[in-house]
Amino acid sequence: MVERADILQAVKTAMENAPERKFLESVDIAVNLRNIDMAQPKNRIDETILLPHGTGVTEKVAVLGKGDITTQAKEAGVDLIIGAEEIERLGGEPREARKIAGEYRFFLAETAVMPLVGRWLGPRLGPRGKMPTPIPPGTDIRPMVERLRNSVKFRTKDKKTFHVKVGTTGMDPEQIAENIDAVLRRVEGSLENGAMNIKSVYVKTSMGPAERVM
């Protein structure tokens, strides 16, 4: 496991070397794997992790369903609520459905509407790894929504390289370093041989040069 001090130094260097911008850039890590067959589904990573300091922005959450779940969603200030009839309508509006799939990071849906979601929105959400988390009746979604707003989701598919957003240039390097440490620990825990399956890790701002972490 790479030392926290080494992660912090890489973050500081990456941020210092990034061209000055008048807007906040995202800070991401690129993880390169080795000695692992990604053609085997069991070796693929599909994780959602609550970052210690969030991503630097409030991630958008959408809720699909009706009744109590929508009441809770309104109380939680959820960004988008999609009713059952709206799910079917979006199935016939591919451009609008694609926009929603791209704009919202996480989706929650009551179990009763999951068949509708799979039929009408599955082609838009599935390829992006954004199929909703099914919510059984009686579940309080409010704490779940709060966690997701500060979480990231990452998956490898069949590639040995994947990227994870770990913050923005408006955050302290120490906070970003802690986020990276949390992500790498989760990645190691997901791999058959842990750190031995990690070839290298780089950190960079969206417009800046990459700095090697490990």
Query: What does DSSP say about strands 80-82 and 133-135: parallel, antiparallel, or unpaired?
Result: unpaired
pLDDT in tens, 86-130: 999 999 999 999 999 999 999 999 999 999 999 999 999 999 999
The pTM for the full model equals: 0.90
> How is the chain split into domains, by residue range?
4-56+150-212, 61-148
pLDDT in tens, 36-71: 999 999 999 999 999 999 999 999 999 999 989 999
At residue 168, the pLDDT reads 97
Residue range 135-168, pLDDT digits in tens: 999 999 999 999 999 999 999 988 999 999 999 9
Q: How far is CA 183 from CA 1, 13, 50, 117, 147, in A?
A: 12, 20, 9, 30, 15
The answer, yes or no, to whether residue 1 has pLDDT greater than 80, is no
pLDDT band at 21 (very low <50, low <70, confident <90, very high): confident
pLDDT band at 2 (very low <50, low <70, confident <90, very high): confident
- CATH superfamily to which 61-148 belongs: Ribosomal protein L1/L10, domain II (3.40.50.790)
Beta strands in 78-148 (DSSP E): 80-82, 106-110, 133-135
C-alpha distances in Å from residue 128, one per residue of 5, 72, 112, 125, 132: 34, 26, 22, 5, 11
Q: Is 26 exposed, middle or buried (0-12, 13-18, 19+ CB in 10 A)?
A: middle
The CATH class, in words, for 4-56+150-212 is alpha beta
